Structure 1
């Protein structure tokens, strides 16, 4: 398990965050943030004031990355790219999460390595990760300033006859009436959002269309919500387009593979981050996934 309760001994009285910097090698901001989050305990009680002086035995909830031997897709001096399988989290959901991509990254490249953007747990494909603090900052700025071109492959329900550009504002807010508390939906009060959709192939026997999606903005669930809004939801989506009963069963991990295929068309979300194009330190990069997405589609349709 990546989060472990570590017993530590403070020989000389000192401020809590300074001790964590010396003992575990954290940067000052990290040490202060972890203490504020309640990860430092004294006599079993949370001590969340980073400037408070401590002495003697303390306990700290320490992140110790684990590995499942997921090999990087491609590696450069400043960054590395993983081809994440569907079902793998980017970050732990809580302290009981057994494994996420951040485990693999930090296990292989050290604690200064970090993930620079997110894709959903069920979305497979390319994830760009920094190997040091400088490249982390520069890559995150690139995403924020939209200097990163991303392409996704998706299998959607129904037949799309032509390429489309979806411009629909997306609102992300907590909805107390919804079973999925944090919902994303098309709404006039939402943020400007645009996704270009290119039709690749229609499969009449499946009544599904393979499309390439280029999100020109980076909203949460953007591609999923835009395609659902156009009445062509992504095959295998367990949330958008599903009944409340089936959403509850999915969230409670009580939805069988057979039920999910019957309800949504596939055993996983058929969305794959397939390509990244960007310029970093005066060099252009075009990185493509090596995964055969159509084979993944085929596997996910079988009961």
Structure 2
């Protein structure tokens, strides 16, 4: 069963597949670098998630362990050496050594067994809009959109496969694992192409709600700082940083409400470009990091220790278990213009109790309706406690 593939930033081909049959090795003995390599290799295991790439020209002549370490990010070079020695990273489907040189155009594959178990999929995922070509769902927090080595089953992709087994819809854009809200899927190949083109041309307008620290000095403020992946320039490779040579990035922010007691603000965020972590990075650069953001608020040392499960690090210092970012509305472009809204979830409403007070509630609605261009026909906040998926 082949899952949707996406284009990696370095233009190499990346796709993930859930292997439905067992491959057999050539029978050659593989020598480990350490006695710690005692676990059965992921290669050939029918539970494995496989990532495949074509080695790009900039990595021509790179050692296998160096290439894999740079490609995966938070995996150390030493761990990469162990994985390669175990046979989980291959060139042309053949085992190689950590010191093997890779060349431009080589086909390489990386095998990982997801640690998560096959779950029940009766998650509280609401369908917000459905027509012949499109499906819009309200993504819960804590669910990844696409499969990774850590999460294969606990993903929106897997839910779509079980909910629509005959013809699963295709996901047309991404949301971070902790981000909740509107997620657009397509039901046909043509619809997928049309939706993605509309996103590229900014015809499908997306609006987010974020709860941030402090109070901005102005009601409306744009942030257009170019962003780039940090890579080797810092501890956390996936972090987006300000870079004058980075990708053009633009986010418009509007202050909707400030909770003086907790010194937090509700912002309406309109991204005009679609960079990784764009809203989170721009909010932090503006001096108002999103509440609960482990990377852009708590910092790289904390994030690295938490994600590598350092036993001396806990999430007790967080103001909220997840970053307080919600994909509130999407305005669909097509024969009929439609706006689909996902109410601000209960766990974020509790961060600012004053949101539901009458004297503030009506004022926020007026601002939201002005941005949407029409009246709200349903509540914009959800005051029903939810069960974490």
TM-score, structure 1 normalization: 0.73
Look up the match of 1:199. 255
Q: CA deviation at 1:112?
A: 5.0
Q: Distance in 2 between matches of 1:48 and 1:207?
A: 56
Question: Is 1:102 the equivalent of 2:157?
Answer: yes
Q: Deviations over 1:193-245 (max 9, x none)?
A: 21111111111111111111111111111111111111101111000132333
By percentage of residues, which structure has more strand? 1
Number of aligned residue pairs: 254
Cα distance in 1, alignment partners of residues 215 and 167 from structure 2: 46
Which digits, 9 at most, give the CA deviation of each residue in 1:242-273, with x for residues without a partner?
233311222124553423x2xxx222100000
Separation of aligned partners in 2, 1:149 and 1:36:
33
SS of the residue aligned with 1:200? strand
The one of 20, 32, 43 equivalent to 1:6 is 20
CA distance in structure 2 between the aligned counterparts of 1:226 and 1:92, rounded to whole angstroms: 27
Deviation digits for residues 104-136 of structure 1 (CA, Å, limit 9, x no counterpart): 112222455210001111111110011121211
Counterpart CA distance in 2 for 1:294 and 1:198 is 22
Query: Aligned residue for 2:324?
Result: 270
Pick the aligned partner of 2:146 from 81, 91, 102: 91
From 341, 350, 357, the equivalent of 1:298 is 350
Distance, in Å, in 2 between the alignment partners of 1:154 and 1:83 is 16
Alignment of 1:287 onto 2:340? yes
Question: How big is each residue's C-alpha offset from its partner over 1:24-45, in whole Å with a ceiling of 9 and x where there is no partner?
Answer: xxxxxxxxxx89669xxxxx99
Mapped pair 1:73 → 2:128 = yes
Q: Which runs of 5+ in 2 are unaligned?
A: 4-16, 24-49, 55-87, 94-111, 113-117, 354-389
Q: Superposition RMSD on alpha carbons, in Å?
A: 3.4
Provide the rounded CA distance (Å) in 2 between the counterparts of 1:114 and 1:209: 35
SS of the residue 1:283 aligns to: coil
| TM-score, normalisation: structure 2 | 0.58
Q: 1:100 to 1:173 in 2, by over 3 A?
A: same
Higher relative contact order (CA 8 A, sep 6+): 1
Where in structure 1 are there 5+ consecutive unaligned residues?
Answer: 10-33, 39-43, 50-60
Question: What is the CA–CA distance in structure 2 between the aligned matches of 1:225 and 1:36, rounded to whole Å?
Answer: 29
In the TM superposition, what is the alpha-carbon distance from 1:177 to its structure 2 partner?
3.9
C-alpha distance in 1 between matches for 2:237 and 2:22? 39
Q: Secondary structure at the match of 1:276?
A: strand
